[in-house]
Amino acid sequence: MTRPKLEQDVLEIWSQHPQAVMMITHDVDEAIFMSDRVVMMTNGPSATVGQVKDGINANRGMKTGGDRF
């Protein structure tokens, strides 16, 4: 299984069973592709909430599969 395939599978499962999901990643592109809201955290052991972006992915189909990487 590849990363893009896993992302597509997660989105498909979510579309069939919509509910709140929290995903943690260090990949900003992946966060934007997979999310409607991205919360950036500051660095370090005492990390805090930084920037919050809502409504960022109105068109989730913009890039799929191998096109992203």
Query: Residue 9's pLDDT band (boundaries 50, 70, 90)?
Result: very high
Separation between Cα atoms, residue 15 and residue 51, nearest integer Å: 27
By the 8 A CB rule, do 35 and 22 touch? no
Q: Would you say residue 61 has pLDDT above 60?
A: no
Bigger pLDDT: 61 or 14? 14
By the 8 A CB rule, do 13 and 21 touch? no
pLDDT tens, 34-52?
Answer: 888 888 888 888 888 888 8
For 33, counting Cβ atoms within 10 Å of its Cβ (0-12 exposed, 13-18 middle, 19+ buried), the class is: buried
User: Is the model's pTM score more than 0.75?
Assistant: no
